[in-house]
Structure 1
Amino acid sequence: MEDKKYNIKDAKMLPPLVLAYIGDSGFELFIREKLVSSGIRNVHKLHVHAITYVRAKSQSFMVHELADILTPDEQEIVRRGRNANTHTHPKNADITDYRYATGFECLIGYLYLTNQTERMYHILERSYELMNKEKGFNEY
């Protein structure tokens, strides 16, 4: 895998949906790794648990809960993602949740591409903790 990273200026020039595309895969991989490391070995259970975290409603919840810890630059990236014209309609999600989820994914993609991995993992870990608390999960 090529280790191409962007400086902040260049990353901000990328279309928000490109950032969200990267962020979506990064968040999905983070959640899958967490679930596998929790000891779940049944693939169906892994899938069902992963959906709890990666669906639009959950990501929308996370980005709202994280708002106070986001920097102004990060808030701007979320706003750009939220306002991006997706040309698609979510099948099983409220459009507002879908837009905020796109903003969340945009932020994760931006942090990844700009090599702000420590900050990215802080946000991912905090998001994971928030969802566990919200859903009443002890520990996955």
Structure 2
Amino acid sequence: MDPRLSLVTLGVTDLENSVRFYRDGLGWPTGYASGDGVAFFKTWGTVFALYPIDKLAEEIPGGAFKPQAGACGITLAHNCRERDEVGTVLRLAEGAGADIKKPASETFWGGYSGYFADPDGYLWEIAWGAFPIGEDGHLVLP
């Protein structure tokens, strides 16, 4: 298996509201039109999608998937090129309706980060520090 994460899909409770948050609030590009069953966002690298959580549960038979949006042992991250960008992104998210869970501050790992929750409670870390960002927008790992 190639070491590649192709698509991240968040199960959401209100697709239209979540699309407004990511598209209109954060400015992420999408071809989504009202009434589409899923929203795909054009991000650098991994594709990001929003899908009704009840429909996501229907895809996995036998009740193996228990629909529960929000903080569930995973965080998503957006790394910034500059330290000051962390606060700017957090303010943008807050203006779009996000709940700031941790204001931007110094971290134990020598960086600078903060957290917000999207409309369904999914946690996003906005970070600067540990790894530089390459020309292609991806983290450069040692």
TM-score with structure 1 setting the length: 0.24
TM-score, normalized by length of structure 2? 0.24
Name which one, 1 or 2, has greater alpha-carbon Rg: 2
Higher helix residue share? 1
| Larger strand proportion of the pair | 2
Greater RCO (Cα-Cα under 8 Å, separation 6 or more) = 1
